[in-house]
Structure formats: C-alpha cells, structure tokens
Amino acid sequence: MGTLTIGVFSSLIGSMNLDFAVKLAETAADKGHNVNLWLSGNATTAAKKGQKEYKDYSYLIKKISGLQKKGVQVAACEACSEARGIHAGEDIIEGITSIGMDWYVAKAAKSDRVLHIGVE
Amino acid sequence: MKLGIFYSDLRGNHDMLFRLKGEKIGVFLVGNGIYHATIKEKGEPSPILQKKEIDYYVLSEDLSTRGFSTDEVDSDIKVITYSDLTDLIMNDYDKLAWL
C-alpha cells in the first residue's frame, strides 16, 4: 500500500471539488492506503464547527470525521483559517489540526502520490 | 514520467492539457469534466479527446449524478469507479495534475 496526500483549495459550497477530494480520500483509506488531507484557502471553510446540514448543500462534517476514524490525517492551514475568521481552538472541528503549510509540504515530500486541487 | 491529469470542467484550458508531456498520459474526467465524454458540439466529439496516445477515463459516479449512463460515453473512454481511480493513481500514474 502507499501514501496519498491530497491538498484542496476549493470551497465547501459552490464547488464539487472538495466533495471529490473527500470521496477519493475515503476510497483510498478503505483500500488500505495512508491518506493525508490538507485544507487551505476556501477549503478551510470545511473545517469550521457548527455547519448546518441542508439537503441541497455540501455537508462534509460527518464525512470528514469518518475519514479521521479511518486514520486519515486532516489538517487546515492556520493562516487561511484565521484570515477567514475561523480560529484554532474555538472554531475548528475537533481532530482537524490547524497548522502551517510546512505540514503539507512535509507530508507531500514523503508521499507516493500527491494530488493538489488548486482551483474552485 | 507517467502523468495522470484530472479534468473537472467543461470549459477548460485545452492548450495546457496538450502541452503536458509524459511517457504515459491518462486523463481523468471528473465533476463537470464528464461532459467531454458525453456531449458533442456541432456533431463533433470534445477537442480534448483527439490525442490517440492518451488514455481517457470518466468517473461513473459523476456521470450518473448528471443523468448519463455508461452507454452514452464515447467508446474511446473507459468508465471507472472511485475504487478503480484509486488503483490507477496509486499504481499506474506517478505524477498527478488537476486542470
């Protein structure tokens, strides 16, 4: 088995790229791969607590906590989060690490595959 | 280098796609990129499908959520699941790009 690191910039609502990244991470984890998921830019909106679930909106809180239970490491860019008023400790979903980009670079450097989704 | 390229939009930068080089290239049509596999404009297939040396794949889940069935897919394109996609990127393509 290998290690896959996925980095995502896309918004939680309005783009399906984050939904895609979460499903790919879930599938890879189910197949026994090590998976790291890095949320930065507008993707940090997925790390915020208190999201309300509406039928026709992307709601990924349960999916992301499901990933964590499968051993996927999920981190959110601290600067991108803070810039969006999403403060470490108060606003970020438990289990998601709020940390600098060096986490992402280090994970990517040690991964077999890296997929960076840099668009909306 | 074996390059896997994700294409997630209908209106994209086709030039960029054709400038990317590798000993093996695979294009994964996901999200709205699946329309390249299913619709013809002016009776012509999508311009991105014209490279014979590229392997084309389309994600079945994104096809069906948009109302397409696998038999509406261009015959040169392989329909895959998330599980197939994971195996392809972990085994067959060592570098990945998202356009």
**CATH code for the domain in which residue A64 is found:** 3.40.1260.10
Q: pTM, whole model, 2 decimals?
A: 0.94
Q: Quick check: B11 contacting A, CB < 8 Å?
A: no
Non-local (6+) Cβ contacts of B15 within 8 A are none
Asked whether the beta carbons of residue A28 and residue B86 sit closer than 8 angstroms, the reply is: yes
Average pLDDT over residues A102-110: 98
- Nearest Cα to Cα of residue A98 among A47, A29, A26, A37: A47
Q: Quick check: is A120 in a domain? A: no
Average pLDDT over residues A84-113: 96
Is the pLDDT reported for residue B81 higher than 80?
Answer: yes
Which CATH number belongs to the domain containing residue B65 in this structure?
A: 3.40.1260.10
Q: How many structural domains compose chain B?
A: 1
Q: Quick check: is A107 in a domain? A: yes
Rounded to two decimals, the ipTM of the complex is 0.92
Six-digit token pair at B94?
A: 């060592």
Q: Quick check: is A82 in a domain? A: yes
Six-digit token pair at A92?
A: 């970020």
Band the pLDDT of B87: cuts 50, 70, 90: very high
Q: Quick check: B31 contacting A, CB < 8 Å?
A: yes
pLDDT at B16: 85
- Determine the distance in angstroms separating the CA of A62 from the nearest CA of chain B, rounded to an integer: 19
- Nearest Cα to Cα of residue A60 among A18, A2, A111: A18
The minimal CB distance from A27 to the residues B6, B86, B94 is found for: B86
**In 3-state terms, what secondary structure has residue A44?**
helix
Q: Quick check: is A68 in a domain? A: yes
Asked whether the beta carbons of residue A114 and residue B90 sit closer than 8 angstroms, the reply is: no
Residues of A in contact with B11 (CB under 8 A): none
Is the pLDDT reported for residue B12 higher than 80?
Answer: no
Q: Quick check: is A118 in a domain? A: no
- Give percent of chain B above pLDDT 90: 69
Band the pLDDT of A118: cuts 50, 70, 90: confident
pLDDT at A78: 97
Q: How many structural domains compose chain A?
A: 1
